[in-house]
Chains A and B, each alone.
Chain A
Amino acid sequence: MGEEKEDKSKALEKLVKSEEAEEILQMVNRGIVFTKEILGENERLRFRVIQLQEENNELLRQAERGKLRRRLEEELIRLEEEKQRLLEEYKRVEEQNREYAMRYVEVEEENNNLANLYVCSYQLHSTLEFKEVVQIIMEIIINLIGAEEFGIYLLDEKGRLLVPVAMEGKDLSSAPSFGLGEGTIGRCAQTGENYYAQDIEGTQQERPFEEPLVAIPLKIKEQVIGVIVLYKLLPQKTQFANVDYELFTLLAGHAATAIFSSRLYTEAQRKLNTIKGFMELLTH
């Protein structure tokens, strides 16, 4: 037994020492080196994978940000358009407001004018007394037109002579009569057309009877029965407003009918009184 063991170890020793054993050892060493290299490469690749994953995540984030940016840009454009639309709407509403404000002023002015015209018309037809009608015309001219010196001329029964029946600011007794077609006042009565002096600037200067500032024929349809004559305006009245021309037109018609009616009424009353007196004489 002991001899056999000794033989085996000697054989093994021989084998170890042999070249084959050397080669095997080298192969095992290369295997170890190769395995280490593979492990290193594996480690590097794992690191690379992590890097790539991070890069990928970053790219994804960037893509997300890009989308978000695009969305924000789109939103910005939409908001910009909305803002533009609202600005245009605001301008439109502002324009509409301005228009309404202007319309309001116009309506208010028209309302004022209508109030003046309504009151004038109401007052002119509120009485049949000739003197009262004349008084009302005078009041309208002073208070609503703003004249300081003016007068009323009426055609006589023959319709040939304009006779002054009322005068404010000027002496009635020294006011002359004018023949139809004579001077500015006579021509106004003849043509039936309103007369306005060229220079409204001269409203404060004294004017003679034959040189009025304004002459308005009193007309019933086309028949002229007299003329309203303005010589001077109140100091605070520097120019005529639209309502003044409306008042002139109203006076031309309504004052004429009021005067005509009151004259007829006065005449009728006078005749009635005469008849009554006559009847009383007959019955007593």
Chain B
Amino acid sequence: MVKILVVEDSPTMRQLISFALKRLREAEITEAGDGVEGLKKLNADTFDLIITDINMPVMDGLKLISLVRRDVKYRNTPIMIITTEGGAEDRERALALGANAYITKPIQAGNVLDVAKSLLGLP
């Protein structure tokens, strides 16, 4: 059983990402609408993969990543970013903060699934 946290302010995107990840066998998907809610859920449970947007209200994805990487529990947990920000600087910044994969919108469900599998080391 793998536990995945999806942090995304758009319900449409949350549903699409969750829909894509349902094809993973035995995956438990938890959703959060912003960075703060995501952080609360990360503290309350242990996740194997974190998927987050960058532009979100209350707390953005980059801040969330920097806080998550300070936590020993999540030091090596893979983080996937799904964002509209397609610039090289944004990508480099996110990867420098500790993100493992960077996907730009618009997304394809299959692409999200493939990257998630790769990060989780699943066939």
- Are the CB atoms of B86 and A235 closer together than 8 Å? yes
Interface residues on B, range: 10 to 19
Kindly state whether residue B101 has any CB partner on chain A within 8 Å.
no
Query: With A and B bound together, what is the CA distance between A179 and B109 in angstroms?
Result: 39
Query: With A and B bound together, what is the CA distance between A260 and B17 in angstroms?
Result: 28
CB-nearest residue of chain B to A247:
B106
Whether A108 touches B110, Cβ cut-off 8 Å, given contacts A234-B84, A235-B86, is yes
Q: Which of A78-86, A113-121, A149-157 contacts B (4 or more CB under 8 A)?
A: A113-121
Interface string of A120-157 (1 = CB under 8 A from B): 10110010000000001001101111101000000000
Kindly state whether residue A205 has any CB partner on chain B within 8 Å.
no
Kindly state whether residue B107 has any CB partner on chain A within 8 Å.
yes
- Are the CB atoms of A123 and B19 closer together than 8 Å? no
Kindly state whether residue A283 has any CB partner on chain B within 8 Å.
no
Q: Which of B5-13, B27-35, B68-76, B115-123 contacts A (4 or more CB under 8 A)?
A: B5-13
How distant is A227 from chain B, measured CB to nearest CB, in Å? 21
Chain B residues closer than 8 Å to A92, beta-carbon distance: none
- Are the CB atoms of A143 and B106 closer together than 8 Å? yes
Kindly state whether residue B105 has any CB partner on chain A within 8 Å.
yes
- Are the CB atoms of A142 and B105 closer together than 8 Å? yes
Number of A-B contacts (CB under 8 A): 65
Whether A143 touches B20, Cβ cut-off 8 Å, given contacts A112-B108, A112-B109, A112-B110, is no
Kindly state whether residue B66 has any CB partner on chain A within 8 Å.
no
Whether A234 touches B20, Cβ cut-off 8 Å, given contacts A123-B12, A143-B10, A143-B13, is no
Query: With A and B bound together, what is the CA distance between A237 and B16 in angstroms?
Result: 19
- Are the CB atoms of B12 and A143 closer together than 8 Å? yes
- Are the CB atoms of A122 and B15 closer together than 8 Å? yes
CB-nearest residue of chain A to B16:
A119
| Beyond A140-B12, A143-B10, A145-B106, 5 additional pairs, beta carbon < 8 A | A116-B16, A139-B11, A143-B105, A144-B106, A236-B104
Q: Could you show 29 A-B contacts with beta carbons less than 8 Å apart?
A: A111-B109, A112-B111, A115-B16, A116-B16, A116-B108, A116-B109, A118-B19, A119-B12, A119-B15, A119-B16, A119-B19, A122-B15, A123-B11, A123-B15, A139-B11, A139-B13, A140-B12, A142-B84, A142-B105, A143-B106, A143-B107, A144-B12, A144-B16, A145-B106, A234-B84, A234-B86, A234-B104, A234-B106, A243-B108
* Contact surface of B with A, Cβ cutoff 8 Å: 10-13, 15-16, 19-20, 84, 86-87, 104-111
